[in-house]
Structure 1
Amino acid sequence: MLYGPVGAGKSSFINSVESALRGEITDRAKTDAIGGKSYTTKYKAYKIKKGDTGTHYPFVFNDVMGLEKDEGVCVEDIKLAIKGHVKNGYNFNPRSSLSEDNQHYNRDPSLNDRVHVLVCVIPGSIAGLQDDSVRKLREVRLAARDMGIPEFAILTRIDETCPEVNKDIRNVYKSKYLKKKIEEVSGRMGFPQNCIFPVKNYHSEINIHDDTDTLILSALTGMIESGEDFVNDL
C-alpha cells in the first residue's frame, strides 16, 4: 500500500511500474497536474496484466487518498486498511474514519486482504513534510511496526529537484543533493537509508527509458522480496 503527502506521486508510481513492466506508457491510476488537493478519493487496488497472457503479476498495489494538513485521508483509515478492514472502492471521508457498520468495512479480513508492504511516497524536494505531516506519517509507521509489516520510502521527482539528475538520471547515486535529502528523510521519518528508493515517475514522457525503468523496478523488487518474506514468516 502506498501512502504519503498529497501530490507526492503515489498514483504516478503505480502508473510508472505498469509502464515499465508493459513496455509502454500507461495512466490507469488517474492523476492531477494542478495539485493542492488529493486527486485520489477512493481506496483502490491495482493489478497489472502480463501482456496478452490473461494473467497478472503476483502483486497488487493499493492506493489511498493523500495526507493533508487539515483535510486528506484519516490516519485511522490507513491503519484499518493495513489490517485489511477497508474494502476496495471505499470513498475516504477526511472528517471521519470508516465505521464498522459501513458496507465497505471488512469484518473478517484474510491474509490476502491485509497489507504486506507499506510504502511511504515523498517528493524529492521534501515538500509536504511539515511537522503535522511528519507526525501523521510517523504514526502510520509505528502502527506498521507493531504489526511487523516491512516498510519502504520512495523519493519521487528526483529530476525536478536535482539539476545533475535532470541532466542525466544515471547521476542519481552520484548526487550529493539527493544523498542529503535521503539522509533528511531517514532522520525525520526513521527509515533506514537502504530502504529509501529514489525514483523518477513517468509524467510527461511518451516512451519508456531503460535508466528510468531501472530505478522503478529496483524499488519494486525490494518491495516484493520483503513482502514475500513477511508472508512466509506468517
Structure 2
Amino acid sequence: MKNCAFVLLFIIFCWGCSNMEVGVEEDVFSATGMNLPIEDLTVEDILLEGAPEELVRATKKVLGSRMGKILLRELKNRYPNGPFIRFHFFGKIDEDGEIVDEAGEMRYYGMGVIGYNRNALRLKTNEELLFHEFFHVFQTGDLKPQKSRNNELEAYLAQYIYGESKQTTIVNTEFTIALGVLANDLRKNSLTEKEMDLFYQNYNAALILLEIMPEYSGEGWYSIRLNKGENPFPNLMKLMKS
C-alpha cells in the first residue's frame, strides 16, 4: 500500500478543516523528542518484563512488518524512558481453580496495560489482535479508553490493513467485507463527489454493524455519525503519514 494515496485522500477530503473530534486530542500523540531510529526498535523497548512468551513472539511479528514498526516507533517516541506495555490476564477461573476456556480476546485498559485471556495466546491471529490493542494505545495514550464505536472502527480498519494479506475474518464475514470496502476507498487517488458520499454511507453502515454486536451494545457504548468533510480516521491517517 502506498502512503501517498493516503496523504492525497487526506487533502481531498479536507479532514483537517473539521471541528469535530472523533479521536483524541492532537497533543496526546505529540512526540517527546526521542525519535528512536525505526531500525533500532526491539521488543525490549516495548514490553515490560514478565510478558507471556506467546505475546513476545506476536510483538516480534508486529515489529517485523513496516506498518507495525511505524506504529510501535510512534508509541516509543511518546514513552522514551523504557518499556511501557505490560500484560494483564483476565481469564475466568472456575470453582476448582481451573481456567475456563473462552473465545480468544484482548482489551486495552489504559496506562499501557493490555489484557488477554488464555485462548488469545493460542490464536494464530494473536499478532493481529495485539496490533489492534497497540493501536488503541496510539489512540488514547495514558487516558482510559472511551467506549467509542468510532474508535473501535478505526482500530479494526487499521487491523484489517495490517493483516489484509492473510485474509483473516475480523469479527464476522459481513464486518470484514465492510472493512474491505473502506480500505479500498482509502486506496483511491481521488474520489468523485458521488464516491465521497458513498464512502461516508459505508462508514456509517460499518458503525451500525458494530452497534448490533453484543460486545459493543452494552451500557456506555456510543457512536457518532459523520457527515462529509469530517475526518473518520484521524489516528490511522496520522500513522500512515509517518
What TM-score do the two structures reach when normalised by structure 1? 0.32
Greater relative CO (CA pairs within 8 A, separation 6+): 2
Larger CA Rg, structure 1 vs 2:
2
The structure in which a higher percent of residues are strand is 1
What TM-score do the two structures reach when normalised by structure 2? 0.31
The structure in which a higher percent of residues are helix is 2
